[in-house]
């Protein structure tokens, strides 16, 4: 435990009674494979607990504050607790600097790292709950996650990018965007795809992914950011 976790305590705004809980929340399973003498367990049990606390706090907030039907609330909750949101918040709090990772995992900065960060975010919630109780854990979730709800609702981020792009273009131009594979590479078991989304012959955005579906979603996301169809 050679990391100064007092810096992380400052980032999250909580002083732990048992700093080992916060330490453990950042221990990835891969680290223990290379450091068998390490005195703490991995963070998976804390993640399991934190996931339940996070979901209950968010669900309770949505239920108490909105009279929308279940389908709306489910979509909003998903947008608040998905990997993208949790990893974004983990990065903002600099969890990256405190993760215990194997040498191999430490080199990965892509989607796999986002999953690790999202899991660590949930594990930290579990650690806060055990160390500080429900009210402090709830306050942390409200400050870091529920605070994003207004933006999610205002920008309709609870709708997946492909649906949002199609909805906005059809509303403005009465046409439907199409997707084309621009490039694919890699072995059959690890294929990569680059896809473009078009409005007739005009390229609106591009995206890459491990599947055509993922590349299409990323292309739609890129198109929403670029807003080429509005020009």
- Please report, for the chain, the start and end positions of each structural domain, with discontinuous segments joined by +: 5-154, 161-230
Out of 51, 114, 131, 168, the active site residue is: 51
CATH fold group of domain 5-154: Ribonuclease iii, N-terminal Endonuclease Domain; Chain A (1.10.1520)
Please confirm, yes or no, whether 51 is among the known catalytic residues. yes
Given 105, 122, 131, 168, the catalytic residue:
122
Q: State the pLDDT confidence band at 25, using cuts at 50, 70 and 90.
A: very high
* pTM metric for this prediction: 0.81
Any catalytic annotation for residue 122? yes
Q: Is the pLDDT of residue 95 over 90?
A: yes
- Which whole number is the average pLDDT over 209-230? 88
- 169-189 in b/e form (b: 16+ CB < 10 A) is beeeeeeebebeeeeeeeeee
Which CATH architecture does the domain made up of 161-230 adopt? Answer: 2-Layer Sandwich (3.30)
């Amino acid at each position: 435990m050679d990391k100064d976790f007092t810096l992380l305590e400052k980032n999250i705004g909580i002083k732990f009674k048992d700093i080992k809980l916060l330490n453990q929340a950042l221990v990835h399973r891969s680290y223990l494979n290379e450091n068998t003498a390490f005195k703490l367990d991995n963070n998976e049990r804390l993640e399991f607990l934190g996931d339940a606390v996070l979901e209950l706090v968010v669900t309770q907030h949505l239920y108490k504050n909105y009279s929308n039907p279940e389908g709306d609330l489910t979509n909003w909750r998903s947008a608040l607790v998905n990997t993208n949101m949790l990893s974004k918040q983990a990065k903002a709090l600099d969890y990256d600097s405190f993760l215990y990772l194997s040498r191999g995992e430490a080199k990965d900065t892509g989607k796999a790292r986002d999953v690790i960060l999202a899991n660590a975010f949930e594990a930290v919630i579990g650690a806060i709950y055990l160390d500080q109780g429900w009210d402090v854990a709830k306050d942390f979730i409200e400050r870091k996650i529920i605070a994003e709800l207004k933006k999610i609702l205002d920008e309709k981020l609870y709708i997946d990018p492909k649906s949002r792009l199609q909805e906005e273009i059809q509303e403005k131009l009465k046409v439907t965007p199409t997707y084309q594979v621009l490039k694919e590479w890699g072995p059959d078991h690890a294929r990569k795809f680059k896809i473009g989304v078009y409005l007739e012959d005009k390229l609106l955005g591009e995206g890459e992914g491990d599947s055509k579906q993922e590349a299409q979603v990323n292309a739609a996301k890129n198109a929403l950011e670029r807003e080429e169809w509005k020009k």
